[in-house]
Structure 1
Amino acid sequence: MMSNCCSQIIFLMCLLNVVKIRAQCEVPRAGDQRILTPESIKLTYSDGDTATFQCSVGYKPASLRGSRTITCSGNKWDYSKLKFQCTKKSCRPLPDFANGRYTYSPEGAEGVLFGATATAQCKEGFRLLRYTARRCLDAGWDGREPVCEVIKCPPPPEILNGQSEETLLDEYDYEQAVTYVCNAGYTLFGDSTVSCSKNGIFEPSPPECIIKSCGALPDFANGRYTYSPEGAKGVLFGATATAQCDEGFRLLQYPVRHCLDAGWDGREPVCEVIKCPPPPEIPNGQPEEPRLYEYDYEQKVTYVCNAGYTLFGDSTVSCSNSGTFEPSPPECIKKSCGALPDFANGRYTYSPEGAEGVLFGATATAQCDEGFRLLQFTARHCLDAGWDGREPVCEAQCEKPSAGHNRVLTPESNKSTYSDGDIATFQCSPGYEPADPEVSTTITCSGNKWDYSSLKLQCTCEKLKVTLSLTAQMLEIEREKLELYRERLAVEKERLQLDRDRLEVEKSSLALCKKAEQKTESHLKPNCTTAGDREGEAGVVQEETGS
């Protein structure tokens, strides 16, 4: 029973949902030119509902025929029966207004349809005051008719050295004209008449009144004129025309002319061809051809240098516009042979010294390094074609070998020069003999040095032994003499000591006597004469008696 109730409840709920879910259509599409009528605008559209269209603002039906209604079928609109179309409303062209007309945007037929713009444009000679543009709306053109007023111009400007033919007004209408005239002595340059233009100013610009012109002078034979001041003013009253001859000519007469009231004064200038005196001579060189007495403008002279010299500068000079040869003539300087590279085991010294030592006429003298001697090609000379001769040859050489130690060179080994590989042989000096006859007695020149390591010769002599023996005997005698001298010194030393002892005794005795003198009278004075004094007295007596 309970299950049946549940089944019935479920069935009823499903039935209710089916009733709720009915077919619906979305809001119908209208387009840019159509909209739904107010009564057709709803929140929901059910199956069988209808919707009716009308034209948007600014649009009108293209035709009175054709269905305007669509029907909701299920959940879709049936657009197949909708034949209603709309087109833009037309405001029609506006009539031209006073002194002007309209231009439309967009151009063509669209220019008078809904949304178009009509812009006011005044006729030439008028300018717009107000109501510039109008728009085509749903009810027609908006705005008001434009107002164009005639253009006015202020008085035209005054000009220097001239004025208008009539007295100037305070204001001029469009296209009203003013004519200018120049004062006496001046010529009008530009348009004499100006008019009030559509821009509200006089056009074209006023003309100028300029001083009378003498006109440009024609070029004369071999020359022309330059004017001061420059430009157009150079041919006006007071201007100056200066004669200038063509290149290669110089002015003889009538250099300047002046623009006066009646025209140019003076006469046509005269130009003559330029001549040059002979070109200058140069040391150590000369022209290729003999010099002439006179040369024409641009005539050329070419210099060449003597043998052993090189041309420095332009070899060719020309007769210039200044009547002298240009550029400056060249110099002929001694040719340079350049410094010679050092050769094997030697180098060059140059005469004269310094930079002159490699110039034409210089001498390069070969000089071998220490330990080498020159075999050939001692000197080379800088000639016109360069250094003559060939590269020197220096040979390795040893100096004369040193003997020493009672050794001398053998006669065949005693030479003035020794080359690489030469052998020198030694022997003992006279009075000496080899200590070992079997050892090496030779040395070899290796490059430029002697190899003394191979020399083993030692020399000795009998005389040396005798001399050594005599020397030993003499030393013994001297030793004995020294011993005797020592003994004598010892005796003298003892004698000296005895004298010292005697003096000490006498000094003691003398001291005792001096003390006794102080205690006794003079007639009781003891005899304090020392042994020394007695000896002195005896000497005096002996001297007096002559013994």
Structure 2
Amino acid sequence: MHLTRFHDAACAGCLRPVLGPLIMAPVLQHFSPPGTQVDITCVPGYTPRYGLHTSGVIICTIQGTWSPIQLACEPKTCPSIEPPINGDMYLEDNVYQSTINFTCNKGYNLHGASSVVCQENATWSASSPKCKAVTCGPAPVPDNARIEYHVHRVSGGNVEFGTMGIYKCLPPMALIGNPRAECTSSGKWTEAPVCQFVTCPLPEPIEHGHMSSKSLNNYKDTVRYGCRLPFTIDGNPYVQCLETGQWSSKPSCRAPCTVNIARGRILYNGRKFWIEDLIPNQVYHNDQVYFYCLNAASSCGYTVPSRCTNGKLRIPECFEGKVFLMGDNG
């Protein structure tokens, strides 16, 4: 405190000044004579808000009052701080006594302070923390199985959160369970499947058909079905022994159709036929036949399609003659 005294017995002097909550003076006396100068400053954590009439001094006047305080204080500002990679931060301000809270994304752990405070010297109480990925040890590998990772493994056999792999059983084992392996946010792997022998019952025959073998019934064995002429196979001709111990869906043999008209022409497989020239008189399952029809005035012809469905072929109503539902079930 800088004190300058002017001795005058007629002067009353000044009582201790009221400085306000953000202003302080190093030394304050209960009574100061006129002319006393007192240095004032901001309390810790605050800094002068400089303006046109800022002054860090007050003076006791001969009237026994202190000169007006021309010092305004504002909180100090800490430097900006970046959120951690793979994390976030929550703050309202970066001035004195402000707090920043840090969090990490799922699968990452916080290393460092979870919160920092802006201190009176305008620095943060700690540096920004880091978010490090959760790691898992080597994935459990069941008997008779192997695992293929989607990424290269890191040194030490550990992998980061989110790393995935696929379990595969050694032939002829079947994989029972989830084939996908994943390092979770808890640092543990998802449950591993098991590998075991699986057999299927003898494959069932299909009506009007045949199959390549009846002795294959282990996991992933395949059997090929076929149909006796003139039947057509409907579905996948190959069935496979699944991990459930059941065969995949078997196909069916579908019957051809007879074009049961007395006369007329049809369009079949891109060719025009008189019905008597269609030898043999049959079209295969799922094939389409076009019939020639005339308009109401009998002045213009057009084709109408009809599809053979397992021995049934509908003759269009516009075609000459009756409408029939016909089939040849062989």
TM category, shorter: 0.3 to 0.5
Q: TM-score, normalised by structure 2?
A: 0.40
Larger Rg: 1
Output the TM-score relative to the length of structure 1.
0.27
Greater share of helix residues, 1 or 2? 1
- Which one scores higher on RCO, CA 8 angstroms, separation ≥ 6? 2
